[in-house]
């Protein structure tokens, strides 16, 4: 059996790596690693190949940035040729980025079964580009591999039949647990002058937060306030850096904040594990902090990962600067809450996916 595994953007690499490792270990699936090139900066792509010990991509499409339609179309056009030439038995996509959608659509039209890893997540917010990507990918997928029970409910409601849904757990957590010990040897805290448990870690990149200068300024003000009482370190996503530079917001508010380049995987995991609080609008970071038991404030009005709120460490704080400051102060003041790790977020997800696929293709 030959499986094309698709990566394109930062959150794809830690989801694809366990699957590729599992396929290689079993020796029964030939993998073709396709990198669309949606993300291309060294610290958004190359570093993850090194940190996650990913093989070099077999095929690099080099599509780069663009509008949604332009980027999606470039990926589709380039990937169509790959599928026609390579004739994989399966196309495996992860997450909810434009590369996920584009490659699913190409495979579906060429009648190659699609496996979607991280299926069924819904924010019910159609203003998020990812929501469209998730819905379309799921409806096209022969295998919907889900991370949590409510994903199955979401899929059934949209007409995905039960025989296509497989609750296998969270593959991103396979990478987290696999590299947790190795990440401890990262020097990132020393390099940034941070003490374990003594800083707040921030990431922001949702267009709804960073593309609107007024909203971005409000969030930066709140972070600047928090930085008056505790060090705040903020690895800045390229979209966000562009917006900060373009609008000039946050330059003043950034006083006391450490704005740094995006971190590699091992450095980021180390910084996450030892943070006092993580403040983010990332999808994956809500999940990693739940497993690490680190309080997470999510700067959004909704989440497609409700389990991290129901049983994990995540709190939706919205985008109101006052609320962000208050919730951070509460945690810094010692407030703690009970939390549990969701079932099957245990490091064994890639194995369960490989079992399903091997049974099917046998
Ligand atoms: C993408 C995903 C988002 C995901 C995020 C993870 C879509 C629609 N969005 O958002 O779901 O959460 O990745 O990080 O797929 N840029 C660079 N260098 C890079 C990559 C991007 O400078 O290596 C800049 C470019 O100016 C580009 C902008 O960032 O236009 C946005 O990149 P894009 O991939 O379109 O979306 P992200 O915001 O990164
Ligand atoms: N991450 C990283 N360096 C950073 C920020 C994030 O390695 O500077 C990792 C993080 O640990 C997680 C993934 O990137 O594994 C999350 O990706 P991102 O926030 O870009 O996308 P999202 O999950 O929101 O789609």
Beta 200-203 vs 165-167: how paired, if at all? unpaired
CA 336 / ligand 1 centre spacing (Å): 34
Q: Is residue 337 part of a domain?
A: no
pLDDT at 253: 62
CA 222 / ligand 1 centre spacing (Å): 24
Q: Does the pLDDT value for residue 342 go beyond 80?
A: yes
Helices (H), 185-230: 188-192, 207-210, 213-226
pLDDT at 246: 86
CA 204 / ligand 1 centre spacing (Å): 12
pLDDT at 250: 66
Burial category of 103 from C-beta neighbours within 10 Å (exposed 0-12, middle 13-18, buried 19 and up): buried
> Are residues 30 and 140 both part of a single domain?
yes
Q: How confident is the model over 248-284, as pLDDT tens digits?
A: 776 666 667 999 999 999 999 999 999 999 999 999 9
Q: How far apart are CA 264 and CA 43, in angstroms?
A: 6
- Partner residues linked to 91 by β-bridges: 4, 114
Q: Which ligand is nearest to the CA of 118?
A: 2
- Phi/psi of residue 2, each to 5°? -120, 125
Q: How far apart are CA 152 and CA 161, in angstroms?
A: 10
pLDDT at 315: 98
Burial category of 186 from C-beta neighbours within 10 Å (exposed 0-12, middle 13-18, buried 19 and up): buried
The rounded mean pLDDT for the chain is: 97
As a whole number, mean pLDDT of residues 313-328 equals 98
- Residue 153's pLDDT band (boundaries 50, 70, 90)? very high
> Are residues 328 and 350 both part of a single domain?
no
Pocket of ligand 1 (CB under 6 A): 9-11, 38-41, 44, 65, 96-98, 129-130, 205, 237-239, 242
Identify the residue with better confidence: 7 or 257.
Answer: 7
Q: Is residue 215 part of a domain?
A: yes
Q: Is residue 33 part of a domain?
A: yes
> Are residues 196 and 160 both part of a single domain?
no
pLDDT at 249: 73
Beta 277-280 vs 257-260: how paired, if at all? unpaired
Do 313 and 296 touch, CB atoms closer than 8 A?
yes
Q: Does the annotation mark 274 as catalytic?
A: no
Ligand 1, atom 33: closest residue by C-alpha:
65
> Are residues 15 and 58 both part of a single domain?
yes
Q: How far apart are CA 342 and CA 311, in angstroms?
A: 7
CA 71 / ligand 2 centre spacing (Å): 21
Q: Ligand 2: which atom is nearest the Cα of residue 203? A: 5
Ligand 1, atom 13: closest residue by C-alpha:
9
Question: Residue 326 sits in a domain of what CATH number?
Answer: 3.40.50.2000
Q: How far apart are CA 279 and CA 315, in angstroms?
A: 10
Q: Which ligand is nearest to the CA of 262?
A: 2
CA 100 / ligand 2 centre spacing (Å): 16
Q: How confident is the model over 180-203, as pLDDT tens digits?
A: 999 999 999 999 999 999 999 999
pLDDT at 248: 78
Counted domains in the chain: 2
> Are residues 200 and 293 both part of a single domain?
yes
> Are residues 296 and 356 both part of a single domain?
no
Whether the CB of 312 sits within 6 Å of ligand 2:
no
Do 110 and 86 touch, CB atoms closer than 8 A?
no
Q: In the chain, where do the E strands start and end?
A: 2-7, 30-35, 59-60, 90-94, 114-119, 143-146, 165-167, 200-203, 232-235, 257-260, 277-280, 296-298, 314-316
Pocket test for ligand 2, best of 101, 133, 268 (most atoms within 8 A of CB): 268
Q: Which of 35, 39, 116, 205 is catalytic?
A: 205
Whether the CB of 169 sits within 6 Å of ligand 2:
no
> Are residues 202 and 253 both part of a single domain?
yes
pLDDT at 252: 60
CA angle 257, 262, 264 (to 5 degrees): 125
Q: Is residue 178 part of a domain?
A: no
Range of the domain at 117: 2-170+345-361
Q: How far apart are CA 58 and CA 3, in angstroms?
A: 12
Q: Is residue 276 part of a domain?
A: yes
Q: How far apart are CA 235 and CA 119, in angstroms?
A: 28
> Are residues 142 and 265 both part of a single domain?
no
Q: How confident is the model over 199-242, as pLDDT tens digits?
A: 999 999 999 999 999 999 999 999 999 999 999 999 999 999 99
Whether the CB of 327 sits within 6 Å of ligand 2:
no
CA 281 / ligand 1 centre spacing (Å): 14
Q: Ligand 2: which atom is nearest the Cα of residue 176? A: 15
Q: How confident is the model over 59-107, as pLDDT tens digits?
A: 999 999 999 999 999 999 999 999 999 999 999 999 999 999 999 999 9
Helix axis angle for 98-109 and 129-140, nearest 10°, is 30
Q: Which ligand is nearest to the CA of 170?
A: 2
Q: Ligand 2: which atom is nearest the Cα of residue 14? A: 15
């Amino acid at each position: 059996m030959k499986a094309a595994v698709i990566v394109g953007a930062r959150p794809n690499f830690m989801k694809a790596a366990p699957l590729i490792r599992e396929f290689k270990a079993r020796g029964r699936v030939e993998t073709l690693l396709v990198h669309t090139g949606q993300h291309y900066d060294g610290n958004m792509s190359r570093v993850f190949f090194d940190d996650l010990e990913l093989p070099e991509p077999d095929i690099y499409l080099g599509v780069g940035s663009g509008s949604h339609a332009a980027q999606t179309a470039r990926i589709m056009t380039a990937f169509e040729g790959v599928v026609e030439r390579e004739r994989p038995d399966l196309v495996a996509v992860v997450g909810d980025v434009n590369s996920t959608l584009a490659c699913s659509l190409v495979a579906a039209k060429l009648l190659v079964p699609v496996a979607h890893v991280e299926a069924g997540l819904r924010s019910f917010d159609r203003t998020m580009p990812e929501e469209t990507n998730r819905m379309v990918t799921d409806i096209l997928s022969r295998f919907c591999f889900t991370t949590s029970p409510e994903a199955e409910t979401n899929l059934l409601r949209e007409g995905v039949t039960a025989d296509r849904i497989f609750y296998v757990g969270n593959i991103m957590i396979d990478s987290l647990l696999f590299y947790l010990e190795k990440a401890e040897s990262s020097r990132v805290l020393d390099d940034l002058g941070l003490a374990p448990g003594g800083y707040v870690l921030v990431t922001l990149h949702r267009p709804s937060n960073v593309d609107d200068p007024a909203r971005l300024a409000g969030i930066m003000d709140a972070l600047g306030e928090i930085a008056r009482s505790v060090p705040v370190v903020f690895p800045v996503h390229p979209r966000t850096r562009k917006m900060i530079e373009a609008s000039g917001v946050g330059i003043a508010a950034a006083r006391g904040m450490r704005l740094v380049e995006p971190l590699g995987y091992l450095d980021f995991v180390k910084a996450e594990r030892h943070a006092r609080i993580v403040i983010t609008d990332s999808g994956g970071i809500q999940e990693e902090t739940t497993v690490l038991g680190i309080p997470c404030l999510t700067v959004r009005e909704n989440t497609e990962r409700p389990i991290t709120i129901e049983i994990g460490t995540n709190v939706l704080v919205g985008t109101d600067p006052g609320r962000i400051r208050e919730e951070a102060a509460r945690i810094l003041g010692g407030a703690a809450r009970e939390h549990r790790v969701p079932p099957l977020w245990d490091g064994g997800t890639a194995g369960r996916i490989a079992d399903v696929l091997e049974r099917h293709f046998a």
